């Protein structure tokens, strides 16, 4: 088998490229589709505070861990563990990370596909005057159309990444992310100037602790992982492409701030509109597909804003799918020594097959269930509630207990060029706080805590 030539490994060409790609991965359906609806279901402001605490105390330390381990190893996830911990079982983490990437991609591309399907519907005005609930279920229960849109998402993703890091991921995320930001600002201005907007802002920012349940606290923690793309080697892989002169401490902080800011902006777009038109903030996963077309329909210039909105989420989703496929692409090309194009085509073929049952889960295959969940439900549950937290736990344990902070310190400080003032706090967070918190989420997510009667 041909050997991969590591001296020819690609990298990000600029600081701004690193931020665009990593923030592009983090910012996605998690921020714009999921964050508003889970915040709505959990009563708003108090949930937000807990989420912010999880981001700062667990998300940020794990982000820095992934970046620094990845850059130090300068390898894909398999190669990284092999290099940093030769002849140990850590190598097999690569299997978990790659499986997580396949699992997430298989249903994420389906949701992203629905979003793409809503773009032509918005432009043509086809949604106005319809029952939005029916329009949405007509789409997701049919066989051919959603499948085609998910394949479009997969096709665009491999098109964007096939030319590599500098000429692929970096080039496209650098164009797409600023567009996303501009679109969000336009929509935010529109939303906060609606009559009655303040009620929505209050809902999001005024903490109401009586609405917060223990389940909500744990949901906030799980969502911190998903939203920051942590626990499956995305940031490790991207870290392996970051050049040695970049400051990983500020990079991690900037990515975390960007992701959080976009989630808040999504909330500021969605809640004022929901309250201005007297809708329910706790409408669940259908919030953007069912509630928002209603909002836009009642708004002047609604067609334009609705079209912009779905284009925006489509862009956000694509910059995330690029990172999911890159984890696998780097693993396959470097470990098997095959060409990037060949590797990517193989991966895309397998992903396309996995997308099919996920897409059909709302229609032709809605009766096919496992433990009472459709294929889509099982994939979503496995990824966010099992694979990502277990992956995050492994990273925290690997760095905190096995590899140890003292061995990564020079990577974090660029050989002493930057100070690492919070090293003591960092060590404590990565060794104790993050692992304990993650074990609690896992016990909760798998229902063990509720069997014990604790939540």
Contact flag: residue 260 with ligand PHE (CB under 6 A): no
Shortest reach from residue 324's CB to ligand PHE, in Å: 5
User: Whole-angstrom Cα distance, residue 259 to residue 256?
Assistant: 5
Contact flag: residue 323 with ligand PHE (CB under 6 A): yes
β-bridge mates for residue 111, sequence order: none
The DSSP secondary structure of 321-354, one letter per residue, reads HHHHHHHHHHHHHHHH---HHHHHHHHHHHHHHH
- Choice from 18, 19, 21, 28 touching ligand PHE (CB under 6 A): 28
Residue 269 half-sphere exposure toward CB, CA atoms < 13 A: 31
Contact flag: residue 265 with ligand PHE (CB under 6 A): no
Six-digit token pair at 426?
């960092």
- Choice from 227, 240, 252, 291 touching ligand PHE (CB under 6 A): 227
State residue 411 phi and psi, 5-degree precision. Answer: -70, -40
Whichever of 127 and 219 has its CB closer to ligand PHE, that residue is 219
Contact flag: residue 375 with ligand PHE (CB under 6 A): no
Contact flag: residue 150 with ligand PHE (CB under 6 A): no
Whichever of 102 and 132 has its CB closer to ligand PHE, that residue is 102
Contact flag: residue 331 with ligand PHE (CB under 6 A): no
Contact flag: residue 98 with ligand PHE (CB under 6 A): no
Let me know: does 212 contact 42? Beta carbons within 8 Å.
yes
Whichever of 45 and 59 has its CB closer to ligand PHE, that residue is 59
Chain centre to alpha carbon of residue 246: 23
Shortest reach from residue 115's CB to ligand PHE, in Å: 12
Contact flag: residue 392 with ligand PHE (CB under 6 A): no
User: Whole-angstrom Cα distance, residue 102 to residue 383?
Assistant: 9
Binding part of the chain for ligand PHE, among 22-30, 147-155, 334-342, 435-443 by CB under 6 A, reads: 22-30
The DSSP secondary structure of 88-103, one letter per residue, reads SGGGGHHHHHHHHHHH
- Choice from 234, 292, 395, 412 touching ligand PHE (CB under 6 A): 234
State residue 241 phi and psi, 5-degree precision. Answer: -100, 0
Binding site for ligand PHE (CB under 6 A): 25-26, 28-31, 104, 226-227, 229, 232, 234, 320, 323-324
């Amino acid at each position: 088998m041909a050997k991969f030539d590591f001296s020819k490994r690609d990298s990000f060409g600029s600081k701004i490229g690193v931020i665009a790609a990593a923030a592009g991965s983090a910012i996605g359906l998690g921020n714009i589709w999921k964050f508003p609806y889970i915040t709505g279901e959990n009563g708003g402001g108090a949930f937000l505070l807990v989420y912010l605490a999880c981001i700062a105390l667990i998300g940020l330390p794990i982000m820095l861990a992934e970046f620094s381990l990845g850059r130090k190893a300068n390898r894909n996830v398999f190669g990284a563990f092999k290099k940093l911990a030769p002849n140990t079982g850590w190598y097999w983490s690569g299997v978990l990370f790659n499986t997580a990437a396949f699992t997430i991609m298989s249903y994420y591309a389906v949701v992203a596909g629905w979003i793409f399907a809503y773009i032509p519907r918005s432009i043509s005005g086809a949604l106005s005057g319809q029952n939005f609930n029916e329009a949405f279920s007509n789409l997701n229960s049919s066989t051919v159309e959603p499948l085609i849109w998910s394949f479009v998402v997969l096709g665009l993703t491999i098109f964007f990444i096939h030319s590599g890091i500098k000429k692929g991921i970096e080039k496209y995320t650098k164009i797409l992310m600023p567009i996303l930001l501009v679109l969000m600002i336009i929509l935010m201005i529109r939303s906060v100037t609606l009559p009655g907007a303040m009620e929505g802002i209050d809902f999001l920012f005024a903490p109401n602790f009586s609405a917060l349940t223990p389940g909500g606290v744990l949901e906030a923690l799980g969502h911190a992982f998903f939203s920051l793309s942590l626990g499956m080697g995305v940031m490790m892989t991207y870290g392996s492409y970051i050049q040695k002169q970049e400051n990983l401490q500020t990079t991690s902080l900037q990515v975390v701030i960007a992701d959080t800011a976009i989630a808040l902006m999504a909330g500021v777009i969605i809640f004022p509109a929901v309250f201005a038109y007297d809708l329910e903030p706790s409408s669940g996963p259908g919030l953007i597909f069912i509630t928002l077309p209603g909002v836009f329909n009642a708004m002047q210039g609604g067609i334009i804003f609705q079209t912009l909105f779905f284009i925006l989420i489509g862009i956000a989703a694509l910059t995330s799918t690029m990172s999911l496929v890159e984890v696998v692409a780097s693993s396959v090309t470097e470990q098997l020594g095959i060409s990037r194009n060949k590797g990517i085509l193989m991966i895309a073929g397998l992903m396309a097959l996995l997308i099919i049952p996920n897409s059909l889960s709302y229609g032709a295959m809605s009766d096919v269930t496992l433990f009472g969940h459709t294929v889509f439900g099982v994939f979503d549950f496995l990824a966010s509630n099992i694979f990502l937290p277990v992956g995050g736990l492994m990273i925290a344990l690997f760095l905190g207990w096995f590899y140890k902070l003292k061995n990564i310190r020079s990577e974090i400080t660029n050989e002493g060029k930057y100070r690492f003032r919070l090293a003591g706090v960092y060590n404590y967070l990565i060794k104790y706080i993050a692992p304990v918190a993650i074990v609690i989420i896992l016990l909760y997510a798998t229902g063990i805590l509720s069997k014990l009667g604790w939540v």
